[in-house]
Chain A
Amino acid sequence: MKEYLRFLYRCFRVSFVGDWRYQLWMLLLTIFVLLGVNAWARQFVHGLITTGMTDQVSWGLFIANFTYLVGMAAAAVMLVIPVYIYRNKELHDLVIFGELFAVAAIIMCLLFVVVDLGRPDRMQHMLMRFNFPMSLLTWDVVVLNVYLLLNLHICGYLIYSRYRKREPGKWFYIPFVFIAIVWAISIHTVTAFLLVGLGGRPYWNTAIIAPRFLASAFSAGPAFIILTLMAIQWFTSHQVPQKAYMTLRAIVVVAMSINVFLLGSELFTEFYSDSAHIASVKYLWFGIHGHDELVPWIWTALAMNLVALVMLYLPITRSRKLLAPACILLIVGIWIEKGMGLIVPAFVPSPIGEIVEYTPTLNEILICVGIWSFGLLIYTIFIRVTLPVLSGQLVADRIFHTTPNAAEEFAAANNGQSTQEVLS
């Protein structure tokens, strides 16, 4: 126990050490987090009127980011499956980066739900009267929190074992790995069902949403991991085998192809039948009665997704130079499609036919930026402490055992130097 606390303390210390690029990245993220905290404090004092949401469009950017990030949390599983089911040993260490991202993504999800609440001061009511199993929102609370715990346990255990130079006990984590695989699918399914089950919203009331969720998640998540691995390789001495990229690329290609196919199926069904139910779809893709705020967004998303898909099909993305832009296009494309494209149009027109458009306010955007920055901040810290552990520099029996000697820490820190991702 004492040893474990010391491990946490040392991780804490290490997370402050890095070169100027690391410090700058962390400083920027911290500034954005604080801007977000400030915006949220304002929202807490004045109410959700500080957002662009209305009675007509009653869910906006917060829930959009929430649904998107639930998808991203799947990234972990797409690394876990090749390693544990197909016994692809080379990727073993990389699984941890995926699972750490799942932890960060779920924390962001939970924050997005909290900032969306009109009365966050009453959250304890959830514990006192939990409408389970009737309300899908309670299901979501359960699956997200369990998924968070599963991933925290798996990577926490693996990293700590490595730190103590112990062989991880198989029974302490392998069963959880398999549970987490199933669980990752459940978090998407439940989040999709949250929307799908509403008979009064024809835009969501379609069985294809859950499969589409899975497909888009299984492409955007691994794409993000590809970028993370590139950043790790770029900024640190940690070597990532080429095979890791290729495996992930293959996953992204397959998932993205399915995603585009499902999108096509949906669009065909809606537009060919051309019933009154397509008002929302029409609004999204072409605009109705002169209201077309989302149209440029969704076409941009479609273009990004298609360009990314074509790039990924071609051998040019075997080189990392082109793989990165393809992944970025795909991540942004799916963010628009899954976020704004899935949530907002369901509210336009309103159930009684009123067309009110939604534009997020600056305050709302700042809160989103703050949460994203917080997520990236903790993910960076996770990676920052994990790398020296994995490379055997931060281990229990070395460094300032009796006399605290920061020099040792330097040595430990050196190898895991600054793990900025994305910015490169």
Chain B
Amino acid sequence: MRLPVLRQDDAGGGCGGCPPQDAPDSRRSFLRSTVAVGAGFAALGAALSPLADLDTDKVFAGEDFFREHYKELTAEDKARLFADIEAQIDREYGVQATVGDPRPLPGVEFVYALNLSRCDGNRACVHACVKENNQSREPEIQYIRVLEMPIGTFELERGNQYYSEKTPRPGHFYMPIQCHQCANPPCVKVCPVEATWQEADGITVVDYDWCIGCRYCQAACPYWARRFNWTDPEIPSDEINPDMAYLSNRPRSRGVMEKCTFCLQRTRKGRMPACLEACPTGARKFGNILDPGSEVSQILREKRVFVLKEEVGTRPRFFYYFDELSSRTTEGVAS
């Protein structure tokens, strides 16, 4: 084979045929490699030049780097941190926001129930959600997806998420899907850094300042409920909702995961979620399942409820049901 004897060719050698013991020759080769290394570093610098455009208020924001996990924050830490975040929101959007931290209420477990007989696909819930939760307008992020499904099937693949504004379309029903706040959440299990967890009232939250953006939770979620910030979110300043919570609707940064939190900034203070309030059809019901007198408890007792993808074992806290009045069984009895 082609064998060694490469002195003549050797890039380190330079002069063809020189005896290898030639000292100046080797010095020249050393010089040459020094020049090469210098050129290498210059090229590396050039390669890294895009880093000059880095907005350090967004990525390496000073103490961001040393920020602690939510669960390790003391009351003073929180006060200081929330003030910092408010100041940053002021800098970025010129909005005086309040960042709070409502905790789960004792004896409360939230449950959602959605009446598929009533939903007419108007998507008011989607718009209300985007506004309430300060979701990015560009690129668009929405927690709620409404599927327009042909009557006679439950195969999600046959649903259309991009249907036209004119609803309801004959022969179709509408099925909104958002985070199901599972009691056995696969997304929480897979997170390598414990940046997402389930709270006592059943709401799964994300610490946006802890998430490393691996998107494993997004792969794990059977309901496609998680959204990733592929770049810095954009929200018009005049559309910012200033009533914020640390674990829910404060503006997110790039490279982190976010999701529906049942509007914990509202619901933990006794209000209803924005999607429910906006729904003109009354299809959405929300409340405390531990309270036997609540509307959702009554629905779960009396209606024929079901959950999506029961077979994956996630035990959702989001139930669907149909009104019996308009169901085929009732019609059959009537005729």
The answer to whether A and B interact is: yes
Pick from B117-125, B153-161, B235-243, B279-287 the stretch touching chain A.
B153-161
Q: Does A141 contact B (CB under 8 A)?
A: yes
Q: Pick from A41, A351, A354: contact of B161, CB below 8 A.
A: A354
Sample (10) of A-B pairs whose CB atoms are under 8 Å apart: A44-B50, A58-B218, A121-B60, A199-B313, A349-B156, A352-B147, A353-B147, A353-B155, A353-B159, A410-B12
By a CB distance below 8 angstroms, the chain A residues around B33 are 16
For B27, B46, B47, B147, the residue with the greatest tally of chain A CB atoms inside 10 Å of its CB is B47
Q: A131-B191, A237-B4, A351-B222 known; A48 and B213 CB under 8 Å? A: yes
Query: Counting chain B CB atoms within 10 Å of each CB, which of A237, A346, A415 scores highest?
Result: A237
Q: How far is the CB of A93 from chain B (nearest CB, A)?
A: 17
Using CB atoms, name the residue of chain A closest to B30. A406
Interface string of A91-135 (1 = CB under 8 A from B): 000000000000000000000010011111111011011110011
Contact flags A11-49 to B (C-beta < 8 A → 1, else 0) = 000001111101100000010001101100110111111
Asked whether A44 and B312 contact (CB < 8 A) given A135-B191, A406-B26, A414-B4, the answer is: no
Against B, the Cβ 8 Å flags (1 = close, 0 = not) of A275-293 are: 0100100000000100000
Given A47-B255, A138-B192, verify A122-B1 contact (CB < 8 Å).
no
Tell which of A228-236, A261-269, A323-331, A333-341 binds the partner. Answer: A228-236
Asked whether A119 lies within 8 Å of B158 as measured between CB atoms, the reply is no
Chain A residues with CB below 8 A from B229, complex form: 47, 118
Chain B interfacial positions (CB closer than 8 Å to A): 1-7, 9-13, 20-23, 26-27, 29-30, 33, 36, 40, 43-44, 46-51, 53-54, 59-60, 65, 69, 139, 145, 147, 155-159, 161, 177, 186, 189-195, 210-216, 218-224, 226-232, 254-257, 309, 312-314
- Residues on the A chain within 8 Å of B214, using CB: 113, 116-118, 137
Contact of A42 with B231 in the complex, beta carbons under 8 Å: no
Question: B193 contacts A130, CB within 8 Å?
Answer: yes
Given contacts A45-B53, A352-B177, A237 and B3 within 8 Å (CB-CB): yes
- Contacts A119-B211, A417-B6 given; indicate if A201 touches B219 (C-beta within 8 A): yes
Report the bound CA distance from A41 to B53 in whole Å: 10
Q: Which chain A residues lie closer than 8 Å to B313 at the CB level?
A: 199
Interface of B is mostly: loop
Determine whether A167 belongs to the interface, using a CB cutoff of 8 Å to chain B. Answer: no
Q: Which residues of A contact B (CB under 8 A)?
A: 16-20, 22-23, 30, 34-35, 37-38, 41-42, 44-49, 53-56, 58-59, 113, 116-123, 125-126, 128-131, 134-138, 141, 194, 197-201, 233-237, 276, 279, 288, 346-347, 349-355, 405-407, 409-411, 413-415, 417-418
Determine the distance from Cα of A329 to Cα of B172 in the docked complex, in whole angstroms.
50
CB pair B10 A125 closer than 8 Å: no
Task: Please determine whether A41 and B48 come into contact, CB atoms closer than 8 angstroms.
Answer: yes
Inter-chain contact A20/B223, CB cutoff 8 Å: no
C-alpha spacing A45/B59, complex, angstroms: 9
A131 to B314, CA, bound (A): 20
Give Cα distance in the complex from A116 to B212, angstroms.
10
- Kindly provide the distance from the CB of A259 to the nearest chain B CB, expressed in whole angstroms: 24
| Pairwise interchain contact B210-A131, C-beta atoms closer than 8 A | no
User: Judging by beta carbons under 8 Å apart, are B21 and A19 in contact?
Assistant: no
Chain B residue with minimal CB distance to A125? B193
Question: B255 contacts A118, CB within 8 Å?
Answer: yes
Q: How far is the CA of A414 from the CA of B3 in the complex (A)?
A: 9
Give CA–CA (A22, B33) in the complex, Å: 14
Give complex CA distance A130, B194 in Å: 7
Contacts of A413 in B (CB 8 A): 10, 12
Say whether A119 contacts B191, CB under 8 Å: no
Expressed in whole angstroms, the Cα–Cα distance for A35 and B22 within the complex equals: 38
Task: Say how far A282's CB is from chain B's closest CB, in angstroms.
Answer: 11
Residues on A with C-beta less than 8 A from B161 are: 352, 354
- When the two chains form their complex, are residues B22 and A18 in contact, meaning their CB atoms are under 8 A apart? no
B9:A45 contact, CB within 8 angstroms:
no
Chain A residues positioned under 8 Å from B26 (CB to CB): 405-407, 409-410
Q: Which residues of B contact A355 (CB under 8 A)?
A: 157
Contacts beyond the supplied A38-B46, A199-B222: 15 A-B pairs with Cβ under 8 Å: A34-B43, A38-B48, A55-B218, A118-B257, A119-B213, A131-B191, A134-B190, A198-B186, A198-B219, A199-B314, A201-B220, A276-B155, A288-B157, A352-B156, A353-B156
- Whether B191 and A41, one on each chain, are in contact in the complex, defined by CB atoms closer than 8 angstroms, is no
B221–A417 touching, CB < 8 Å:
no
